[in-house]
Amino acid sequence: MSSQTKVPRGLYGVSVTDSSIAKSDAAGTLIYRGYPIADIAAHAGFEETAYLVLNGSLPDRKELEAFSGALRRRTRADARLYQLMRELGVRAHPIDALRTAVSALASIDDEKGVPDQQASIEAKMSVLAANCHRVPRGEPHLQPKPELGFAASMLQMLTRETTGEYDRWVFERVLIMYMEHDLNASSFTVRVVASTLADPYAAASAGLSALKGPLHGGANESAMELLLEVKDPDKAAAYVTKALAEGKKVPGFGHRIYKKFDPRAQLCKGYLQEMLKRRNKDDSLYRLCARLEEEMAERKGLPANLDFYAAPIFYTLGIPIPLYTPIFAASRTFGWMAHYNEQVAENKLIRPDATYVGPVDMKYVPLAER
């Protein structure tokens, strides 16, 4: 038997590849291609950040226009994808509908080379994500307005309203923060598929499968359901006490990497407070979030993560909860494609080993004797 190297379950703390795309740190830092997330969020637009993540450098004006134009030209989705979603029916989870459409895109798309295939997936994911809840329920699909830009067009489809400038700016910041986060579960899944040299459609479909789980992408939906359940800031302490006594996981708290604080969550916390202030709304939702954050930090030492503050932002914007994870997917697609490209550039099939702990030397017993 070949020699094996035992590693922690979940590969925690194990480096399995080199990457120059992004890096998070336990101390509460996150960089995209060397740029701190706070700097990116304060100054860059979505397409500019996507170009950076995909190509490794900030674009000049000509490069940005070409990149944005390539996305705009590929935004509209084939009617057959919507028909496929519709046939799944109301029982379909939005991510399942989205994943099915992306998988089918491989057979429908006319794009030939990998770069064009990736651009098609990146452009259409936001449109399919905005429709993956309504179309299976029999509602007509919504058309994008690519002239608005990636984030604004997506927000318009999600809310079907004309939103204010600050709301659009905040939504774009949240998309930027969801775009990439080094070797998370879905990005690693994408790299595993890419290592087989499967096409980008297969890799994106696999990424969507990993994102569906409540320990990854589904956490933002669970976080909002928690906030709606508790409602009153004064009930936060009692909720946490009961949840911890019953051994329940409180969604939106804790992170595999961040031990002190999630820099994305802290930025979104400020955005939420300002959004409510500008709307002249009661700030009880913000105070509820802050109280829950205080309780979890004091009792468990767990920081709020991005999902915890992204969820109330989406809710304040009027976006239906079942679309929170598809929004995550629409943005993270750009990170997935960056990992796809990095993997195939110096490819080695990802094929780890497992330590066998089952029985040996078993003897077959005929069916009639069992």
262 is catalytic: no
Exposure string over 311-332, b if 16+ CB within 10 A, otherwise e:
bbbbbbbebebebbbbbbbbbb
Q: Per the structure block, which two tokens stand in for 220?
A: 């933002």
Chain-centre distance of CA 197, in angstroms? 23
255 is catalytic: yes
The 8-class DSSP code of residue 253 comes to B
Residues 236 and 299: their CA atoms lie apart, in Å, by: 12
Beta bridge partners of 22: 32
CB 124 within 8 A of CB 75: yes
Q: In the block, which residue shows the tokens 């994911």?
A: 125
- CB count within 10 Å of CB 140 equals 10
CB 283 within 8 A of CB 276: yes
Query: Which residues contact residue 114 at a Cβ distance below 8 angstroms, ignoring those fewer than 6 apart?
Result: 199, 200
CB 62 within 8 A of CB 192: no
Residues 62 and 68: their CA atoms lie apart, in Å, by: 10
As a 3-state breakdown, the chain gives helix, strand, coil percent values, each rounded to 5, of 60, 5, 35
Residues 331 and 316: their CA atoms lie apart, in Å, by: 19
Q: Write down the catalytic residue from 133, 141, 181, 255.
A: 255
Residues 23 and 31: their CA atoms lie apart, in Å, by: 5
Q: Write down the catalytic residue from 109, 167, 262, 307.
A: 307
Q: Catalytic residues, which ones? A: 255, 307
